[in-house]
Every structure is written in structure tokens, then in C-alpha cells.
């Protein structure tokens, strides 16, 4: 309890620039944790929806019927959105006459690529903010530390006999800024790496589905030509 009280006193008695640095670091930490919890929910939902749609897709369901179910639901993300965009473009082009199978597949693939880019961008949203917090926070904390130590030693200019006890409080409050910078940066870096890897795996999964679905549509276009 005494240590907590002393820590609080050091923060409250710090110079104004150091207090501003500490406030910025606390805000950055809160912001990064909000991003972490939000991104964790988004990625977990994407994986869950991908599992559910793949199970439905590979169950042997009629593609036209599956498309009607998906399009009626609306607001589809992930694999469902890829399927909807690809099949919609395939069906639209197939209604036109004198369009060969290659054109059908290329049009469907373009539609899925656009949707894929949009999905990846949605999954990566705010990850750059985590990277910013992780890379900048230690330097912001170090700035507060340097400033606090500079102020502490500057106060010794008018003192004839300097002791460590005179500068210890100032140095202690300055070092708190570095500790707070690390406290903000470490979780941000850890979860940035974790979420980046998760997004890469999901993107690879989407790419694989796109290739497999394109192969199915290619066989369908070949049947229509004959």
C-alpha cells in the first residue's frame, strides 16, 4: 500500500511536461487495449463464419440455391461475401449471349478479388495503430525520462553540496515515464504480431476458397458451352 502511495505521489509531483507524457502514454495504452479487444472479436467472428460457410458450401448444396440464401441474408462478409460476389458476376455474364467460358471466369475472379481486398482491409483495420503505439511509446516515455532527469539535475545548480537523496525523487518520477512507455508498447507489439499472422492465415484461406470456387465455375462454364 505504501509503495502504491509513493508511486502515486511521484506521478502527481512530477513536472508538467512529464505529467503530459504520462497522460499521453495512459491514453495510448487504453486506446491499444480497445483495439486489441475489438480486433480479437472481429477475427474470431471471421474464423467462425468461415467454418460455418465452408461446411455449408462443401455439403453438396446447389450453388444457385446457396446463392439465393446468401443474397437474401445480405451484409455478407468473409467467404460468404466472396461467394456472393463471384456467383453474382458469373450469373450476370452467363445471361448474355456469345460470351465464352473464359470471360465468365475472368469476370467472376475480378469480382472476388475486389471483395477479397475489401475483406482483408476490414480485417487489417487499426492494426497500423497498434504498430504505431508499439513503436513510438518507448520513445515518448524516454523523452519524459530525459526531461525529468534534466530538471532534477538542473535543480542542483544552486546547491553547494549535492547528494543522491536530492535527485533521487526527480529521477524516480522520470523513470516512471519509461516504465509506462514499455507498459503501453509491449502489449501493442505482441498483439500486432499475433493479429497480423491471423489475418495472413485468413487471407490465405480466402485465396484457397477463391481458387477452388473458380475451378467449380470453370467446370460449370464448360458444361454450358457444350
Q: Please tell me which of 10-24, 28-42, 143-157 the model is most confident about, judged by mean pLDDT.
A: 28-42
What confidence tens digit (pLDDT) does each residue in 47-98 have?
Answer: 999 999 999 999 887 888 999 988 888 777 889 999 999 999 988 888 876 6
Q: How far is CA 81 from the centre of its chain?
A: 20
CA angle 221, 222, 226 (to 5 degrees): 115
For every residue of 172-188, which 3-state class applies, written as one string? HHHHHHHHHHHHHHHHH
Confidence bin at 163 (pLDDT 50/70/90):
low
- Which pLDDT value is given to residue 139? 93
Q: How far apart are the first and last CA of the chain?
A: 83
- Residue 129 pLDDT greater than 90, yes or no: yes
- Which pLDDT value is given to residue 186? 95
Q: Who has greater pLDDT, 18 or 137?
A: 137
- Of residues 22, 40, 29, 38, the one with CA closest to residue 186: 29
Q: Who has greater pLDDT, 40 or 7?
A: 40
What confidence tens digit (pLDDT) does each residue in 26-47 have?
Answer: 999 999 999 999 999 999 999 9
What confidence tens digit (pLDDT) does each residue in 173-183 have?
Answer: 778 888 999 99
For residue 68, the enclosing domain spans 2-225
Q: Who has greater pLDDT, 62 or 197?
A: 197
* Mean pLDDT score, 99-128: 90
| pTM, rounded to two decimals | 0.82
Number of domains in the chain: 1
Amino acid at each position: 500500500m505504501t509503495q502504491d502511495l509513493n508511486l502515486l505521489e511521484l506521478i502527481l509531483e512530477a513536472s508538467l511536461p512529464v505529467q503530459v507524457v504520462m497522460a499521453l502514454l495512459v491514453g495510448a495504452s487504453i486506446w491499444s487495449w480497445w483495439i486489441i479487444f475489438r480486433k480479437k472479436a472481429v477475427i474470431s467472428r471471421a474464423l467462425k463464419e468461415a467454418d460455418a460457410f465452408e461446411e455449408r458450401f462443401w455439403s453438396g448444396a446447389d450453388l444457385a440455391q446457396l446463392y439465393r440464401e446468401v443474397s437474401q441474408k445480405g451484409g455478407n462478409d468473409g467467404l460468404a461475401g466472396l461467394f456472393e460476389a463471384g456467383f453474382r458476376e458469373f450469373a450476370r455474364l452467363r445471361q448474355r449471349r456469345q460470351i465464352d467460358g473464359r470471360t465468365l471466369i475472368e469476370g467472376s475472379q475480378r469480382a472476388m478479388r475486389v471483395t477479397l481486398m475489401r475483406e482483408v482491409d476490414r480485417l487489417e483495420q487499426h492494426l497500423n495503430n497498434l504498430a504505431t503505439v508499439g513503436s513510438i511509446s518507448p520513445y515518448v516515455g524516454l523523452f519524459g525520462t530525459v526531461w525529468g532527469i534534466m530538471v532534477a539535475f538542473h535543480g542542483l545548480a544552486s546547491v553547494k553540496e549535492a547528494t543522491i537523496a536530492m535527485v533521487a525523487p526527480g529521477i524516480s518520477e522520470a523513470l516512471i515515464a519509461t516504465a509506462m512507455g514499455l507498459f503501453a508498447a509491449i502489449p501493442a507489439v505482441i498483439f500486432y504480431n499475433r493479429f497480423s499472422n491471423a489475418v495472413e492465415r485468413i487471407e490465405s484461406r480466402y485465396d484457397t476458397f477463391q481458387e477452388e470456387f473458380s475451378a467449380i465455375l470453370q467446370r460449370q462454364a464448360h458444361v454450358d458451352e457444350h
